Structure 1
Amino acid sequence: MSWVDLLKLRASLGIAGVAAGKSKISSVTTLNTRPGNILFNKGESFNDISYPGNETLTWEKSRTLNIGLDMELFNHKLSGCIEFYNKYSYDVLSYATVPTISQGKNSVMYNNAKVLNRGVELSLNTDLRVAGDLKWRGVFNYSYNNNKVKAFYENTPISPQMPGLIEGYPMGVILVLKPSGYTPEGYIKLQGKDGTREPILDNVSSHTSDRILRQNGETIGDNNWFYYLGTSTPKSQLSFSNQFTWKGMTLSFMITGRFGYYVRRGDEFTANNPGAASFSKRLDRAFTVYDAGYGNQTSYSEYPLYNDENYQLYQNIEKNVSDASQMFVTNYIKGDHIRLNEVYWGYDLPEWLLSRQNVFKRINVYVQVSNLGILWSKNKDMDPDYRVGTIKPMSTFMFGLKVNFRN
């Protein structure tokens, strides 16, 4: 194979550890010093517990197997590597619930989890003469990671509000409730896994207080109302940088992407919260649904509005409905996207022109544009990196001149 310049197979197996004393975690109890208050302790300073000591702390450890292939092809015009890895981490630090009487804290950090990461990383580099004086240099990087919690030695109940680590699922789990429509009076119906459709009429039917009890061996599948949506951590990422040069001109740009994850929209709406992001837009949609009649809706599309007829009952359950709506699947969108980060164009004045004078050795003019935004997104509604209500960076334009003088 004359087009193969280099093929090198490599493998490594190693054990690594990370010291447990990170993020203020310690095996000894640490204290804060607080200023006194003239009303309560005559202005004398006092101490309270910053973090309770944990004598059982040990290093986070991992065993990693890497298998990689390095390659150079087509007379070194294309090079790169592909690497597969299997990383088993144990004694992973995570919070565990303890009695509040334990030094005044209700949770401390323990080595109580095991996590498996498997994935692949690909890197490609090219240096090509496309045609004549036109050259292209490119660097492409792609990574995919699939992680799963293999063990979690903690019996705290699981809820959509704070799912935490769940054995058998990836890190960053998102649990949701699924609204399926309305009653004719405007009460939201929830969809159960068994096909049941139940209106939210009180705290029990809102299922906001439901818990999955690990100590009883319960799993997400045992709860009829909680759905596993996905993870908040991207499973794969890519970056692609390019540089084209031709007769003194340079054009370069950078593309990045993230895939396989969900983000929260950030525009949760209730009629009693006028300060929420996109309130006016969501309120208009709520009135559209209201005017069309809740009994005429075949699915859930917006938070309902109460009227004179159901005001008394709705007022009593509004908190239950509002709390449940914070867990609705409609609050999340797929975060998959490809972004154009930066574009650069520059031009060097040719040597034959500079040779006519004795002052300047090099003159370069350039334009650089940053924060250009989304090229493609799985959802067409919003930029997944900037939740509704946050400030998205504006595109910036820079015009410059670089001059080098002769000696």
Structure 2
Amino acid sequence: MRVLQISKFYPPVMGGIESVAWELTEGLNRAGVPTDVLCSNQKLWKTQDKAASGYRICRSGSLGTVLSTSIAPSMVFHLRRLATDCEIIHLHMPDPMAAMAVLLARPQGRLVVHWHSDVIRQRWALKLYEPLQEWILRRADMVIATSHSYFEDSYPLQPWRHKVRVVPIGITDRVEGADSAKVAAYRQLAGGRRIVLAIGRMTYYKGFDVLIDAAAYLPQDCVVFIGGSGELLNEYQELVIRRGLNSRIALLGHVHQDNLLSLLEACSVFCMPSNVRAEAYGVAMLEAMLMSKPIVASDISGSGVPWVNVHGLTGLNVPVSNPAALAAGLTSILTDDELRDRFGNAARKRYLQEFNVDLMIQRVLNLYGSMMSTYQRKNFAQ
């Protein structure tokens, strides 16, 4: 059995979907299942390289990004070449370019669609994309959803319920990865104050504006660190200045993966203030959980976020886009050491029981096995 993962981008380009594709590819290869990657490049030309563990990564040249979609027409030809000896094509969605490549290349083999999120914001573009999305779901042999709660609220998946299987996202346990010197440096940057940490791309659905407004209600002996880069970074910097919160909030910009665990170790509580279903899961919360950190998250209807962070067990879920409620949830944990420790220990336990990467890999292997038991090479020409 050989697998081809198709992702919009791939590390070192990082994002929620990219991190899942990386964990799956690395884990499947460790398990003895040869797995390669096809993705878009962030340059005009194609590159092909090998990961340290030996699998191939083909990055198709891109003309640029439009509406969050990388325009990489050569992906069609690369897919035809790479898929010739693959029994399983594992497609990470939403990704209109990759879906178009599957439509045009018509690879043989089983198609697994990994459904990370519905298209939420670009409604007019969705009208153009829907026929292609419908074709992909109709041709899929199996659809992987990341949580029952998101699947049940996903309109596009309802006609294909019989194909859907839920596999929670898992990440590698790197609990020993924090660097004591870096932890001390972050705490020094905080001036000895307790740290509320949020991490993510500076985009509309992350709700960092809500967290900035919430900072005004927090105790004076804490500081808010927000890590990440993106199109709204300058806007958030201006908002911090307008609110007069320069001494209470630090926008850290891009946080390298090598520094993330140290930053998590330094913080007292992790915050996920996202405010719409585009935040389908909240992978950043898993990093906090493996580091035994309590979480305050938004109670987003139809998202996997409130399922990942169990209210009253691993942290608190508060009303969406409500700065006062967000601050109250954070304050209740910041001011109660026993509660903070209890939530943090439960978060670590939930990570080990539900979100460890080995569990995700085994669940995916089980699904692959169930497909391969009735396998015959499939022509996608229908």
| Shorter-chain TM-score above 0.5 | no
More strand by share: 1
TM-score, normalised to structure 1's length? 0.20
Q: Larger Rg: 1 or 2?
A: 1
Larger RCO (alpha carbons 8 Å, 6+ apart)? 2
TM-score, normalised to structure 2's length? 0.20
